[in-house]
Amino acid sequence: MKVVIWLLVLAAIGAMGYALWKWRQRWLERKRAAEERFASFIAQARPPAPSMEALQPIPSDATLLQQKLLLEAAAKAGEAGEAALSIQLYARLISRYPQSELGAQARAAVEAQKKKLAKR
């Protein structure tokens, strides 16, 4: 009879151990799922990464004024017959402000001044 009681006690302890082990597995799985939900929520709530265009600084009035002054000086030098000086000023404009609105105009003017130099 003692043996049967000991077997029942051992079976009860084993059942409690098994129940605790399964409960811990479920708890860990719920914790992982909650962390995944939180991570996806944060990823959705975070604003999108800025594009490269958004990272480029917007030209201020001072830089735009400097660009216009360089463009005008280069144009006047070209009109005065100083093609080499004009090309240098256009090159300075293009090197300082490669993505500016006036860059295309300066590049076209450089090509025209190079043709003038080649004719001489």
Query: Same structural domain for residues 78 and 105?
Result: yes
Q: Are residues 58 and 109 in the same domain?
A: yes
Residues 97 and 64 in one domain: yes
One domain for residues 34 and 64? no
* Claim to verify: residue 21 and residue 74 sit in the same structural domain: no
The reported pLDDT for the residue numbered 49 is: 67
pLDDT digit string (tens) for 42-84? 888 887 766 665 556 565 777 888 888 888 999 898 888 888 8
Residues 40 and 59 in one domain: no
Model-level pTM? 0.49
Per-residue pLDDT, 14: 97
Domain count across the chain: 2
Same domain, 60 and 108: yes
12-20 LR contacts (CB < 8 Å, sep 24+): none
Same domain for 69 and 40: no
- The answer to whether residues 31 and 81 belong to one domain is no
According to DSSP, residue 46 is labeled: S
Say how far apart CA 52 and CA 54 lie, in whole Å: 5
Same domain, 60 and 103: yes
Residue 6: which pLDDT band, with cuts at 50, 70 and 90?
A: very high
Q: Are residues 98 and 42 in the same domain?
A: no
Are 105 and 71 in contact by the 8 Å Cβ rule? The answer is: yes
Show the domain range for 71. Answer: 54-119
